[in-house]
Structure 1
Amino acid sequence: MPLLVRHSRGVTPTRSGQVLYERACEILRIVENTKNEIMGFAGSERESLILGITPGLTNVMGRKIFVDAREALPDVHLSMVEEMSYVLIEALERDEIDLAIAYEVADRPALLRAPLLVEELVFVAAPKTAEGLGDTIEMADVLERELVLAGERDPVRQLVVGAAERLALPLKVGFEATSVSMMKSLVMRGDAASVMPRGSVGAEIDTGRLVGLRIVNPVVSRTLYLVRSSRRAPFQAEAEISDFLFAMVDSFAERMGNLVHKL
């Protein structure tokens, strides 16, 4: 029975292959959960937590995450994976990470999600490009400009596409880049503008290399979720981990100011 199909775009699993893969992930997760439970009885080893977070959160929180975790979670070994939200969700479904803090997570049977906050996106441009603009910019004016955005699967791009469709206006994507650093480089050189989370460009805005403006009519915002697999057993330090994550999100919200609305 074939498990994989090769084609011009690479390799994809057959229906049988997908079932085998899902069952294998379940078995590996059961083994990991069993190991963690036994470790909890022994009390001699630290529990492992692989946490997935987005680049914007990393930029805002930085080393504070690890420093705070060392104090708040002395019996937990924390590892972090930094990726775009949709990549984190795929990793969560493959049981490659334990928890994810990610944006715009669709409701899926295999996932448990809890909304944490709503964050507004900002229009980002080089100072010269933004000359003459105020503190805010209409979404219609944003759409008049050539933009650099991530690929079509990126949640931020999907939000911009949705806003353009509601306004019945075309979206001008001059450049497509999956690298945040490449996007910022294009914007700083005046080759394009963008719509981005402020957390991804906070340092550049604070030092005057970029300008970030609130978008209005409509506001473009996204929801941040705490997500885990429904198959994953509770952590031994479940309460402590939850308290740590909620405190981290509170700190992020405080740093983001009026661009964030807690739920």
Structure 2
Amino acid sequence: MNLRQLRYFVSVLDAGNMTKAADRLHVAQTALGMQIRLLEEDVGVELLVRHSRGVTSTPAGSLLYERASVILKLIEQVRREVAALGGESTESIRLGTTPALMPVIGPEIAVTVRERLPKVALSMVEAMSHVLFEHLTRGDVDFILAYDVPDQPQITRTALLQDDLVLVSLPGPHRAKPVAFADALEETLAMPEPGDTVRAAVAKQAAEQGVELRVVYEVRSVSAMKSLVSRGAACSILPYFAVAEEVRNGLLEARPITLPAVRRTLYLAYAAQRPRFRNEAGLTGAVRNSLRMLFDVLGPLAHQV
């Protein structure tokens, strides 16, 4: 048993199948499968149940997954603590943010870190908020800039701002006039999967208002949702900054949702028990500095917290 096998094993269960895990690890599926088989031979018991939909863990596999996750996190912690003793050595920090946020503030954060924190090697990861939260709990990223991060003891989170979602459609006679929430739900909607924070916020509001949320096109990709809207096949409910450029160019229309508004909270979050980075204050400062751009883009749709 070695660390590579443990890392591969954890990744397979996190992904749910060999193909996705191989893509994430950037290894051939055959090589990944061989390492898993060697691991099973080493411990002398079957760890995975393979089926048409992917893989699940056996009872022994579940135990190994739990222990391996702790081991991998501990090794990463030791690596950071040892590196920190080097004083002025380069410090690697992994920051996750959402696909909609990345083009708006990602470059600003990257440039600010490069200019102000020359001893930081910043790696930026892009994923939906609920996926970023999973990455954070597994230790795959150090910080996340994500929406509606759950309040859990093992996570430290700081609210940065709130913003209202908008109904996105082709330009029409409404000229970006506000639309009532119930009327927005009457449209043919393209929305993210149920675990996504946008979908969760809309579903929660629908339940509170006693109206039905009908999603015709369920897609994970923001660009795919915008493509469906551009073709006239659907409307979508999205954060404004995800479509700001298309709205400016007259390609799409964004209507504020009212009665009631659908509002989310943006958080900066990290694992509560991890060691602190030497440049942590500088990184959080760079993130906060980038929020000015968000407020400029969102205008009245943004709210201080």
Indicate the residue corresponding to 1:236 in structure 2.
Answer: 278
Q: How many residues align?
A: 261
User: Which is worse superposed, 253-262 or 97-106?
Assistant: 253-262
By how many angstroms is 1:27 displaced? 2.6
Q: Deviations over 1:131-187 (max 9, x none)?
A: 235521111110111111111111111211222222222223221111111111111
1:149/1:195 contact within 8 Å kept: yes
RMSD: 1.9
What residue identity is the alignment partner of 1:74?
Answer: P
Unmatched segments (≥5 aa) in structure 1: none
After the TM superposition, which parts of structure 1 deviate over 4 Å for at least 4 consecutive aligned residues? none
Deviates more, 1:56-65 or 1:117-126: 56-65
Matched, 1:100 2:144: yes
Max radius of gyration: which structure?
A: 2
How far did 1:63 drift? 2.1
Match of 1:218 among 253, 260, 270: 260
**Cα deviation 1:40-86 (Å, max 9, x = unaligned):** 22234210001000112112124222111111221110000011001
Task: Give the structure 2 partner of residue 181 of structure 1.
Answer: 223
Q: 1-side partners of 2:71 and 2:280: how far apart?
A: 22
Residue number in structure 2 paired with 1:83: 127
Name the aligned partner's letter for residue 124 of structure 2.
M
Give the corresponding residue for 1:13: 57
Deviation string, structure 1 residues 100-132 (Cα, Å, up to 9, x no partner): 11111112233222221111111100013xx23
The letter for the 2-side match of 1:116 is L
Counterpart in the other structure of 1:127: 171
SS in 2 for 1:42: coil
Moved more, 27-36 or 137-146: 27-36
SS at match of 2:112: helix
- Aligned to 1:114, the other structure's residue is in SS state strand
CA distance in 2, matches of 1:18, 1:116: 37
Q: Deviations over 1:159-217 (max 9, x none)?
A: 11222222222223221111111111111121111100111111101111000011001
Alignment of 1:1-263 (within 5 A): 3-14=47-58, 16-128=60-172, 131-132=173-174, 135-263=177-305
Q: AA paired with 2:289? A: A
**Greater RCO, 1 or 2 (C-alpha within 8 Å, sep 6+):** 1
CA distance in 2, matches of 1:238, 1:59: 23
Higher percent of residues as helix: 2
Q: 2 CA distance for matches of 1:12 and 1:232?
A: 29
CA contact (8 A) 1:29 1:232 kept: no
